Amino acid sequence: MKGGVTQSMAWAHTWLGLVAGWMLFTVLLSGALAVAKPEIDAWTRPEQAASLAPQSVAVQRAQHYLAQEASNATWWFITPGPPGAPLTVGWAGAAGVGEASLDPATGEALAIRDSDGGEFFADLHATLHLPVWGLWLVAASGLFMLIAVVSGTVIHKRIFRDFFTFRPGASAQRAWLDGHNVAGVLALPFHLMIAYTGLVSFFWAYMPAGIEVAYGGDQVAYFQESTLRVERPEDTRPATLASLPAMARLTERSFGPEAIGLINVKNPGRADAVVTVYRATHDRVQLHGERITFDGATGRIIEPALPAGPVNVAYRTLAGLHFAQFGGGFVRSLYVALGLAGGIVVATGAVLFTIKRGDRQRPGTRAANAYQIIERLNVGMIAGPLVATGAFFWLNRLIPLETTERHHLEIQGYFLVWAGTLVHGLMRPARRGWIEQLGLLSLLSLALPLLNLATTGDWIVSYLERGDEARTAVELGFIIAGALAAGVTWRLAASTPTRPSASGRASRRGHAS
């Protein structure tokens, strides 16, 4: 019976892996890139050079700018950022929504190229760049990831021995399986955590059972009650907004200096204006910091910083673990590495599926043809998004700055290149497809610092000299990605292209079939 359970776990692992693997790979890759959003934002907007200014000055500049540009809006958002970061302001109202990056010292709008930057990867990660039902697909891949981790662990009775076993020189299947197991076991707790916390963070979209029974399905009521505690009676008479910097200074007593994460203002020009100041979350795991709420017209505190209840703390801690806003660059780099380890587990798993099962089919049969198509789709679904990511960064430097709707072109370029890799992958024998696409990825990545030097006059060396950690980290990422892709390409090209013989196949038995 025990062997039976292992076998059926292996069955579930294999087939759910096939169903979800390709989608999961893109979710993991874009998630790893989304974690590096601050760094990618800085690289994709090379003009962004913010000067140092204390947050109270930044808030004053923001209020001045918004009062001129968006006095009729119903919402203002101000993100002062830590010293040295740009000041971002946004607004929403009947006339539409808008956003601007300002120099915190002068309040002037920074002339920044129109690029979605890291936000594109965050969007790809959350919804696959689809409408809101994309959340369902991503949630399904998160669920499959949890099931794959649980079933994969059951299959591995020798989990610790496997961890120390990596035989890249052994047969192709052995090397892929060892790679699958090492990356899977190494990052196992992280993968359980990241899939679970991701599912919990957006539960209202695809698991609204609680909202259905407790709120009669009224999502807005749930969000109001769980986030916006302060509700004021409507008063549409015009009123001047009190000084935001003065309110910001009042929050320092609870939050400490330079610790504002976000300020939002509801109905800025009206007598019922409400200003909410949120504490920054860079030094704590919980997402959404404590907040202090002010009467916007008088500048008096309506509600001080209240301690959250234990359930809400637990919930926000899970969300915070997923969004990784704490711990700075060190924690973010760990998240990127462990997320990419997840990508490696999925990619090696997809290759293993075709090596182990495809080779068992007699050539010419319908099953053999199906496995050949899967084998070739693997190329475009795994190397494809990697090549497209490289192309996205190239387009960021190549599309002329004055182009209208420039950020759309970057994104369209990403999907066009991905579509191209799918077509190319289907037309070439799988091994040639891998070699050509990974080779292209390596060229694209390694040349990115040079392209940057040619187009902006800056590259990793000048960033290093200036102590620009964020942009140095991105260029280092390009070089590492390019070197790894070159290494795999070279190994694939050097290995013998022949299929394993029938006798060799019989003597090999993996345990993850």
**Which residues lie near other proteins (CB under 8 A)?**
4-5, 7-12, 15-16, 19, 140, 143, 146-147, 150-151, 196, 199-200, 203-204, 207, 209-215, 222, 225-226, 309, 311-312, 314-315, 318, 367
- Note the Cα 105 to chain centre separation in Å: 31
Q: How far apart are CA 459 and CA 397, in angstroms?
A: 12
CA dist 146 → 102, 176, 344, 490 (Å): 42, 21, 16, 34
Nearest-approach distance from CB 24 to other proteins, in angstroms: 15
| Phi, psi (rounded to 5 degrees) for 277 | -110, 120
CB-wise, 217 or 329, nearer to other proteins? 217
Residue closer to other proteins, measured from CB, 147 or 337? 147
Residue 287: CB minimum distance to other proteins, A: 12
Helix (H, G, I), strand (E, B) or coil at 496: coil
> How far apart (Å, rounded) are the C-alpha atoms in residues 35 and 318?
16
Nearer to other proteins, 368 or 447 (CB): 368
User: Based on CB atoms, which residue is closest to other proteins, 214 or 419?
Assistant: 214
At closest approach, how far in Å is the CB of 104 from other proteins?
35
Residue in the structure block whose two tokens are 């200096």? 257
Dihedral Cα 444, 447, 448, 451, nearest 10 deg: -120
* Shortest spacing between CB 207 and other proteins, in angstroms: 5
**Shortest distance, position 313 Cβ to other proteins, whole Å:** 10
Report, in Å, the least distance between residue 431 CB and other proteins: 25
To other proteins, the closest distance from the beta carbon of 230 in angstroms equals 15
Planar angle of CA 370, 385, 450, nearest 5 degrees:
140
Residue 150 CB, shortest distance to other proteins, in Å, is 6
Q: What whole-number distance in Å separates Cα of residue 290 and Cα of residue 255?
A: 8
Shortest reach from residue 468's CB to other proteins, in Å: 40
The 3-state DSSP class for residue 402 equals coil
Is residue 447 within 8 Å of residue 415, measured between CB atoms?
no
In the chain, the amino acid numbered 85 is: A
Judged by beta carbon, residue 369 or residue 403, the one nearer other proteins is 369
Helix residue spans in 216-365 (DSSP H):
219-226, 244-255, 310-323, 328-353
Q: What are the residues facing 263 on neighbouring strands?
A: 78, 277
State the minimum distance, in angstroms, from the CB of residue 175 to other proteins.
Answer: 25
Q: Sign of the CA dihedral 33, 38, 43, 47?
A: positive
Contact status, residue 33 vs residue 121, Cβ threshold 8 Å: yes
Residue 496 Cα distances to 171, 172, 360, 388, 492, angstroms: 11, 10, 19, 28, 8
Distance set, CA 25 to CA 118, 195, 345, 378, 511 (Å): 18, 13, 9, 11, 23
- What gap in Å lies between CA 206 and CA 125, rounded to an integer? 16
301 in Cβ contact with 291 (< 8 Å): no
Judging by DSSP bridges, how do beta strands 274-279 and 260-266 pair with one another?
antiparallel
Min separation Cβ 283 and other proteins, Å: 23
SS3 512: coil
3-state secondary structure (DSSP) of residue 161: helix
Q: How far is the CB of 10 from other proteins (least distance, A)?
A: 8
Cα distance between residue 92 and residue 110, in whole Å: 20
